[in-house]
Structure formats: C-alpha cells, structure tokens
Chain A
Amino acid sequence: MEELSTIRKLNFNVCMQCGKCTGSCPVFPKSKLNPRRLMLETAYLTSPLTMHPPLNIYEKSEVWDCTTCSTCSYRCPREVEPMDVLIGLRGLLIEQGRVPPTLGDALEGVYKYGNPWGLSPSKRSEWAQDLEVKYVSEGEKAELLYFVGCAASYDSRAQEVARALVKNLNTLGVDFSILGNKETCCGNEVYSLGEKGLFEILVEKNLSLLDQYGISRILTTSPHCFNAFKNKYGKDLTVQHYTQYFADLIDKGKLKFPQRVEKVVTYQDPCFLGKHNDIYDEPRKIIENIPGIKLVELNLSRGRSVCCEGGGGRMWYDIPGERGRLAETRVKEAIDVGADILAVACPFCLLTFDDAIKTTGNEDKIQVMDIMELVAEAFLPSNVQCK
C-alpha cells in the first residue's frame, strides 16, 4: 500500500462532502464514477476511523472512466484535489496488475516503443520527411525545440497539425528543430493512469535528451505534453504550448495574416490548457486575429468547458456499455451556436471530435480544425479558400 502514501498527503479532513465534484464530473451521468463518495471512502481508508463496508479499491473499476479533465479539482471549494486522489487509486490497481487490457497495452506500448499505440520508433518522424525541419538529434542545432508528441507523430489526422505547425514556423522564419526518431512519450497520460514507475523512466529519458542536445526552450503541439513538462517533471523547464507562442507573436506585432478565412468558428477549451493551466485567452486571441473569422462561444466554455473524453487514458478505453461520447454532445452544441468550424488546440480533441462528427452524421454541417490549420489557411499566399 505504498501508493496510499501519495493519497495520504492530501488533506481529506477539509472535505465537507458538498458533492460539487460529483455534480461537476462530466462522466458521472454515464458511469459509476462518483468522486464525492470516493473521497469519503478513501478518507476512511487512510484514517484511524473505519467505514463499513471499507473501500475495496479492487471493485472500483470505474476509476478508469475518469478523463482527468480536472473539473472536480478545479471547482472543489476546499482544494481537496479529487483528481489526484483518483490517480493515486489508479496507482493501487496498477500495482496489482488490475488494468483494463487496452490500457495495459497502451502502457506497454509506451514502455517498449515510446508511444501508446506501440508503433515503431523508427517511423516516428516519417510525417516530416518532405518538410523543411532541423533534426537536433543529427546535430542541427536550434534554440527552440518543437516537441511533436505521440499523437501528432503517428496519427494521420493529427500529423496534419504537426505539418501545419512546421509550415507556420517556417513562414515566420523561426529557427527550430525536432528530436526526430529520438523523441519519446512525454508521459502525461502515463502519469494520469497512475503508472508512476513508468512515468519516472520517461522523465529521466526526456530530461537526459534535453540535456544531451542542450535544449533550453520547448514548444509543444499537445496541451498534454505541455502539462507534463511544465507541471510534472519537477524541473523549471521553459515550455510553451503553441497557442502561447503564437499569441506572444501577435502581442509583439510580428504576426500578420495575409488571407481572410470567412468562417464562423467556435472553440473547445482543451482541459489540459484550460482547467489544468489557466490558458483561455491565448487561443482565442489567435482565432480572433485571423481576418474574416467570427468567433462564437459555446454555451459551456473556458473553465466551464466540457471534456472531449480523450484524456486520462480514455483515448484507449471506452466506458463499458456506454452510449454516446461527450464529444458527440459538444459537436451538437457547436452546430447549435452556428459554427462552421469547431476549432481545437489539442490532438486528442481533434481526433475525438473528428470521430464524433462522423458518428453523429454531421460531416456536411461542421468541420473540426486545429488552430494551427486555421493559421496555415490565413498564411496561404494565394487566394485558396478554406475547405
């Protein structure tokens, strides 16, 4: 019960069982997951008092339903951090090997191949083959490292975002490099799944890579990688999500868009940018600066935004017997506010929404685009119109 030590550090005595966590949890309506009850049961588990029956964590398979969107921790009036407790409980199950098989495969994939899909590391940078990029791993030094991340490296749809980002950086004349096939998983999802041992290995590997290549600044595609480097590595790393980087350029007056993109756009706040890191304005600044775009807000946005259900390992795990993903509801909301484009700033949001648009049969009504793809459209030298 070594894992309980992490949980013990959290102060349960201040939990007043208000239930705000459960009321806020986006998966609660379709899962047995009940954060408030888990807090109570875990509190008794770690205190000299007892509760009958005591918490049997091995019967709580619903802890795998959590997306680690952090709404519970974000809204908790007493800062009890229910999400961290839940990750700690996942850790207990991990140590016993009681992990849903698809999540076990994802973790094994990271351990053996450096990505949760278990794809070959030698194919990691294939997406960049025909692009102008420097490889720091081959001695091509640059001040800024673009950390691509697993999804944008391997998934064909997410690769388009990496390609757009590279083209945009090149348009702006930014000196940057990538790690090529040396890049490995950042570990954010590994951490969220409670696999502490594996996360430690990844931290060690990545820090030694950064050190080996003398990297001082990191730029990420994914808010998940950004979060890991910024908050979980225990080092003061200089890391930015691309939305911060491009918003800075706008502030400095260095970003001008030659093209108009005549579209109504709404924006999904990714949990790992918004609720986890309070980054709400930067993505909106980029969207609003693109001439022609009309930004409309979703009914639930910023801190009230609803998770797409791609985080916390949920890219590789469906709630048993669930009907309809949250992304499907979000797509309908986006159509309701009159958006032609649902803009995202996270590869997991991109993939979950891409699926949701197809499963709800709304391909002709709305399209999901990453902010980097919108920027690439606005950078186009010719008069090519948005798709």
Chain B
Amino acid sequence: MNVIVCVKHVPETAEAEIAIHESGKRIKTENLVFDINEWDDYAVEEAVLLKEKLGGSVTAVTVGPEDADGTLRKCLARGADRAVRLTDKAFEGSDSYAIAKILYKAIKNLPFDLILTGAQAGDDGCAQVGVVLAELLGIPHVTMVKKVESIEGLVKVERELEGGLEEIMELKLPALLAVQTGINEPRYISIMGIRKAMKKEIKVLSLKDVGLTEEEVGESGSWITVEKMFIPPVEKEAEILTGGVDEIATKIVETLRAKGLI
C-alpha cells in the first residue's frame, strides 16, 4: 500500500503565552516552539503501521517554509520513505482551499492508494484541507478516523461521531482519510533516529514546479481572508450558586433559560 501523508509544521501553543502580531492578523511566532501538528503525527504513525503490515511506501508532503524540514525529518525518522516540501513566497497567506490546491497539484501525478491527513491542525483548527483535497482529486474521503483496516482494494474505517457514537464505513481505494488523535500510539522518535533521517533527501518544489500561477495561491487564490485576530477578552461574569442540590439545579435551569441558552 502506497500512502501519502500530508503534514503541517505548527507552533505549539498549549503551554505558550500567545501574543498577536503587529499586523493584527496572526499570532507572534518568534518565541514559539514548532513541531509536527499533533493530528498529523498520528497520521504518519498510521501510515507507517500500514506499510509495516502491508508493504509499500510512505511519502510525507508539506506546504511550508524551510523550517518545516524539522517536521519532515521527524516523518522520515518515524519511517516515511520520502519527503516533499512545497515552498514558495507566493504560497504565503494561503487558506485551506489554496493549500489543498497546492497539495493537489503536487500529489495528483504521484502513485498512491491512500492519502492520510490529520483531522485538523493545532494552529488554525480549520479541518478543511483533507476534505477539499479529496474533492479536487475526485476520491472518497472520511474524516475523524479512529481505526483503519485494509481489505482487498478497500479500507474499512471507523469514524468518531458526536455523543460517543461511531460509524463504520468501507471505501474503495484510492481514498483520503483524515485521522483523529488516539488512532494509535505514535512511537518515540529518538534523536539518533532524527540524525539518521538527516541523510535522507527532502525534495523541494516551487509554484512553477507544481504548475500553478501566483493568482491561484496565496491570498489571491484563497476564499477566506483574515480581517482581524484578537485574544478574547476575559469576562468576569461569575455567579456562585448556593443551596441544596435540587435548588442549585433549578437555579441553573432558570439562568440558562433566562439567557436563552436552552
């Protein structure tokens, strides 16, 4: 099974103090630590597990600056065979649609049975690239995938729905799966492993190489523009309810009703 995994190099924000950039349209990333997007890490691990079981190859693809090599090296250390970085000044400011277009152009002529992406990215949380990419390629897709099983030209997948529900689906290959965290337990990547991966080649492709024009990517090729980014103001509207359990429950319901929330 030949698998392509789309990955993103993102800033880690869980522990960091976030500040807005002077432009007011993005966050400051100077002091942030970058790593592979968490969901993508699970996707790469899943691709490597499939390769270990079924044979074939794994190719990691990213759209990003040179720094994104850190993420690709991690993919190579995890067991990917090839890595492709799509880098061009013109790609900056691309939304999910434009990113999917770039990936589409780079991937469409590569041999693959399956494409894996993370269900979403830890930075913008859009969860759109995988779906748009599948549409552009004209292949079926499933999002929020928690389990993958290969059966003769098909993949049987379990996807997560709301409220603890799960859905089981079968897809004809080639297909695209957007992977949810927890699908596997990504193995630890040692420093020696990353060092060894330094010897593997990372193929770099530009706007021209993939056959796109400047109008098709970046802000001009996007459907979404960021008007303003801001940190939500801290609200100080807290009410401590007192009394017995029934009394508190009644008050909660009354408050929620009064505010039109139920």
A residues sitting closer than 8 Å to B (CB atoms) are: 2, 94-99, 101, 103-104, 107-108, 111-113, 118-120, 122, 195-198, 200-201
Residues of B within 8 A of A103 (CB): 188
Interface residues of B in 1-26 (CB under 8 A from A): 12, 15-17
Q: Is B190 an interface residue (CB 8 A)?
A: yes
Q: With A112-B33, A197-B195 given, is the CB distance from A120 to B15 under 8 Å?
A: yes
Q: How many A-B residue pairs have CB under 8 A?
A: 51
Is the Cβ of B17 less than 8 Å from the Cβ of A98? no
Task: Choose from A94, A111, A122, A196 the contact partner of B31 (Cβ within 8 Å).
Answer: A122
- 5 further A-B contacts with Cβ under 8 Å, apart from A2-B192, A119-B15, are A98-B188, A120-B16, A197-B190, A198-B190, A200-B191
Task: Choose from A97, A119, A122, A200 the contact partner of B189 (Cβ within 8 Å).
Answer: A97
Is the Cβ of A113 less than 8 Å from the Cβ of B188? no
Q: Provide a sorted-by-A list of 17 A–B residue pairs whose CB atoms are within 8 angstroms.
A: A95-B193, A96-B187, A97-B187, A97-B190, A97-B193, A98-B187, A101-B185, A103-B188, A104-B188, A112-B33, A113-B15, A113-B33, A196-B192, A197-B191, A197-B195, A198-B190, A200-B191
Q: Which 6 A-B pairs have the closest CB atoms?
A: A197-B191, A97-B187, A104-B188, A99-B188, A197-B192, A97-B188
Is the Cβ of A95 less than 8 Å from the Cβ of B192? yes
Smallest Cβ-Cβ distance to B12: which chain A residue:
A112
Label chain A's interface by main secondary structure. helix
Residues of A within 8 A of B193 (CB): 95, 97, 197
B12, B17, B31, B188, most chain A CB atoms within 10 A: B188
Q: Is B92 an interface residue (CB 8 A)?
A: no
Q: Is B35 an interface residue (CB 8 A)?
A: yes
> How far does the Cβ of B71 sit from chain A's closest Cβ, in whole Å?
13
Is the Cβ of B188 less than 8 Å from the Cβ of A111? no
Residues of B within 8 A of A94 (CB): 188, 190, 192
B31, B187, B191, B194, most chain A CB atoms within 10 A: B191
Instruction: Tell me, in angstroms, the Cα distance from A95 to B78 when the chains sit together.
Output: 11
Instruction: Tell me, in angstroms, the Cα distance from A103 to B12 when the chains sit together.
Output: 19
Residues of B within 8 A of A95 (CB): 190, 192-193
Residues of B within 8 A of A99 (CB): 187-188
Is the Cβ of A195 less than 8 Å from the Cβ of B185? no
Instruction: Tell me, in angstroms, the Cα distance from A200 to B78 when the chains sit together.
Output: 21
Smallest Cβ-Cβ distance to A101: which chain B residue:
B185
- Would you give the 0/1 interface string for B162-191, flagging 1 where the beta carbon is closer than 8 Å to chain A? 000000000000000000000001011111
